[in-house]
Chains A and B, each alone.
Chain A
Amino acid sequence: MSQQTSVLYDVPGPRQRRITLISSIVAGLVLLVGAYFLIYRPLDDKGQLSMELWGPLIDPSNENFSQVWDRIGLGFKNTLIAAALAIVASLILGTLLAVLRIQLKSLTRLRFTGMATPLAYLLRGLSTLLSALTRVCVEVFRGLPVVLTIFFVARGFPEFGLYLDNLWYLIIGLTIYNSVVIGEILRSGMEGLPGGQAEAAAAIGLSPAQSTRMILLPQAFRIMLPALISQLVVVLKDTSLGFIISYEETLNIGKQIIGVLGNPIQVYVVIAVLFIVVNYSLSKLAQYVQRRLAKGRKTAGTPAQNPPPAALMSQAEGTGGI
């Protein structure tokens, strides 16, 4: 029995195994028949399985084959470029944002004793204001659809006289959203650490900034590594929004191919398979890293850290994006 079902079942006995076997065969047959009538037949009736439509995509001897795959390769390269740049930019910005929010939060608790009273009040007010401001920014940029962020960037920047390549509009749009998400992931990672760590750091004379940089942040990265890898899947999927601003990524190229060859279903099947293979391997990697981290933690004998908030984790598992 696999892990997730062990809660609900006992190890099956001979009778249960026989029942399972019989119902498996029945269910398998029903699924096959269903697939034949619901998927194969409609496709075949409309001639969607003909070699004319599939040939350019799967038949190397087809005259269009190499050209089509050259284009898809180019599109996929563009997708990867955009995703890589966006993830690097959002990692940097997200780290800065997380550190900023942590620092601001600790500043608002400070009373600034020993300063002139008006100055102390001013500083307290300022730090509270800044803290609230970053909070509002996070809520706004997290609450907006990524599509619109990208669209607004591409429409808005030229309005203010800033003309960039489509690639940069896409990257900026993706970075705005993902840096906020990554920032929140890292922040919750830091806040989930046992409180004693920051106290110990303070006891050996590290400043709050130093303890964040040397103690909290590295651990937050480590705990959140699986979530960060999953976020990569989100970014990779989100780059497909580039077609809205006519950046030449995989989907946009697919659209061009369809314009010439007129085989939408086939091209999208191929593109979907491409995405699924890459993203599936990435999420497997994330799971593997998570397992390794869990093992490492157990053997090191450290107390179990607070698991990150469920909402954040599930967001990091890919619901946050398109």
Chain B
Amino acid sequence: MMKKLLLITALGLSFAFAGSVAPADNAQYQKECASCHFGYQPALLSKASWEKVMGNLSDHFGTDASLGKVESEQILSYLVSNAGSGKITANNSTMQITKSPYFIKEHRKIPAKFIEQKEVNSIANCLACHTTADKGNYSERAIVIPNYGRWE
């Protein structure tokens, strides 16, 4: 019985995403990481990816995001213990959420001009279009593209 439950839970997790992830609710992560960019939820990357990210913060996508040893270890621990294992992280061992095959598939129909406009600036700027991204909700219904409106 217990085994079956575990199996079901594991299956459920491996297919998980369906437009929503647990919000990034760690105050230290919010302060140190989300002061510069959107607070990507830990479930959007795998444990291996977060280890890579946190392993070289002094050259973080071309900028210096270095932290003290203690803060760095605490944040890594939060990220890996909440890392993703589902659809969104499948076949992505890079440091970028936007390199996940699932992410690419979901964004393939978006015209470049939507991304390139100054209100968005980068495909990594989740909150620019996903109005409830900070709550971990990426559902299509909550998409509003700046200067263009709803995504239908």
Partners in one complex: no
